[in-house]
Amino acid sequence: MEVYRVDDVPLIYAQLQELNLQELIDEAIPTHGNWQGVSLGHVLIIWLSYLISEGDHRLSPVESWVSQNLLWLQSLTGLFELSSKDLTDDRLEQALDYLSEDSNWSSFASIFEANTLSIYDLDSETIRLDAAPIQGHHRIKPEGLFQKGYHKQHANLGQFKIMLASLDNALNQFGYPLFHKVFSGEKADDILYYPVLKDCNDLFKGQGDNSCKLIVGDSKMGSKFLRHSIMEMGHSYLVPLSKVQLSNENRKELISNALPSKFEQVYKDEKLVAQGFEVLRQMSYTDESEQNHNWEERLIFVLSSQYAKSQKIAFDKKMKKTQALLLELAVPKQGKAKIESKETLLLRIDEILKSKSLQDCLKVEVIETVLEKQKRKYGNLPARTEYIKEFKIKVKVEKQVVEEKKKLMGWQVYACTANKEKLNLEQCVWKYRAQNQIEKRFDDLRNKIAPLVPIHLQKDNRVEALVHLLMIALKVIALMEYKVAKSLDEQKQELDNIYPGNPKQATKNPTAKRMLTAFKGISIVVFKKKRKKKILIKLTDISLNQKKIIRLMGFKSSLYKKLKQNIKISFST
């Protein structure tokens, strides 16, 4: 008796086949004449099936996995010449080398996305862009992929950056990863946007789609060059402006001049979530050839109720802590350095106020008192008078300044060139708040699909190719989620029995990970009777919920039964 765990692999493989992935890879990426065994396309889709199912991007376990499951993998793929030697770590490294070549990847990415957009009715009106650093314990080499760059947590580790463009999906709020590029880690984010923007634009223009897209990004996409480039491509943008792109003084002036009674209000479940107003302004940009370009953009000022509340609470806490810190300076304590002069104390106070950015909110007065203390003669020491300096600190809160500061809290300013009829203030608010869609995809890449970190590969080109491979996996699961959400929406249903410990909990937008986990444990058992030379094949019962998920993805519920039949046929030939 032989037991084989097939789990969710047949379902994943069916999705890869639907995308014609193997054919597209073999068409776009020519291999050397000495390539032996199954084609590059077949190698990669079998590897992807393992990678998505097991959540493991390491190369070394793949060969043993194929060897252990060769019987049903041959029947699943129809490749009866398949052997474990087709997926050794050396062969997978070769596959990564092919993927890492820019010409190969560009050729494949273009035809793959064109094919995907022609198969699926994806919402292609909004494109979101964002960058994310990926760190690793790799040696930093000149001109290498891993370089030191800004990072919130670990500034001393080398990193590289991924710039991702995703298509909005209004159906299930899960963005489809459209294009990406990999850059060395020292580069600033703002220069990474244009290459990916150009790829997206070329794709749609190549498809004959000349419609205006809305490009959404964070404040690093707010440079005049990028905004002008988006306009030149025939698209519009929505981007929050930093205080460099719109100064504090201009913000204060425009907000102060606005009448609250004229603010547009945004509600959710009858609760006020934001309000604001907008003004028009003329933009001008001079390119490298000294040619001047002009356009008009909307400045959309949005006051978020929750953001304002949280900012005010944080500000009050900072004020309270700073006051306590200032008063503590004048309190003498054992082991604490003695303050010798008023000037020294004033310098320390100024440092604290500057570090907390509270110079205009707190006014500090230092009162110096000199006390005389008579000392009697002691031993060889004569009687004397000692002068002891004591300091007292008084802190005054500038209430009017604080109130003015709080009036500006919770405000965000967006630049937008979409027509008001197409994207009004309320729609702008919800459109930008959905920016977490692309951040979820980065989270999938880092932590959920096949966690990218830690990266075990050492060669930069293979690290880049591994990112390409994981991005293909990300596209596959995004399409699975889209198809299921679309089917559920059409049938006015929800999917349950996918949450461990809570089978009744249902959702309209299930994630691929939860759905695929529902298939763990499906096995095929092969009984070989030597005397009668008879083969008996048994398949774990497929539950109603598993059949439902298969149908929601657009496949026949007999998917696993067909695999069982193919295995039986392979024994008879």
Which one has a higher pLDDT value, 335 or 422?
Answer: 422
Which residues on neighbouring strands pair with residue 182, listed in sequence order?
162
* Contacts of residue 273, Cβ cutoff 8 Å, sequence gap at least 6: 266, 267, 304, 305, 306, 429
pLDDT digits (tens, 9 = 90+) for 318-347: 999 999 999 988 888 877 777 878 888 899
pLDDT digits (tens, 9 = 90+) for 200-243: 999 888 888 889 999 999 999 999 999 999 999 999 999 999 98
Predicted local distance difference test score (pLDDT) of residue 192: 92
Predicted local distance difference test score (pLDDT) of residue 169: 78
Query: How far separated are the first and last CA of the chain, in Å rounded?
Result: 20
- What's the rounded mean pLDDT across residues 520-534? 82
DSSP for 83-100, written as a single string: -GGGG-HHHHHHHHHHHH
| Least confident window among 123-137, 256-270, 409-423 | 123-137
Predicted local distance difference test score (pLDDT) of residue 531: 64
Torsion, Cα 383 384 389 390, to 10 degrees, reads: 30
Evaluate if residue 440 carries a pLDDT over 90: no
d(CA 145, CA 459): 9
Evaluate if residue 573 carries a pLDDT over 80: no
Query: How many CB atoms are closer than 10 A to CB 147?
Result: 19
Per-residue pLDDT band for 33 (boundaries 50, 70, 90) equals confident
* Contacts of residue 504, Cβ cutoff 8 Å, sequence gap at least 6: 496
Predicted local distance difference test score (pLDDT) of residue 466: 94
Predicted local distance difference test score (pLDDT) of residue 385: 78
Asked whether the beta carbons of 467 and 182 are under 8 A apart, the reply is yes
Provide the CA 193 distance to its chain's centre, in angstroms. Answer: 15
Angle at the Cα of 550 (from 545 to 555), degrees rounded to 5?
Answer: 155
Predicted local distance difference test score (pLDDT) of residue 453: 79
Predicted local distance difference test score (pLDDT) of residue 381: 82
Assigned token pair, 207: 């498809």
Per-residue pLDDT band for 153 (boundaries 50, 70, 90) equals low
Looking at residue 313, its amino acid is I
| Least confident window among 115-124, 338-347, 402-411, 430-439 | 115-124
**List of long-range contacts for 232-235, beta carbons under 8 Å, 24+ apart:** 232/293, 233/197, 233/201, 234/210, 235/201
d(CA 67, CA 82): 10
Looking at residue 134, its amino acid is I
Residues belonging to the chain: 573
Predicted local distance difference test score (pLDDT) of residue 156: 76
Evaluate if residue 277 carries a pLDDT over 90: yes
| Least confident window among 61-75, 287-301, 437-451 | 437-451
Beta-strand relationship, 236-240 and 214-216: parallel
Please, what is the average pLDDT of the chain?
A: 90
d(CA 393, CA 388): 17
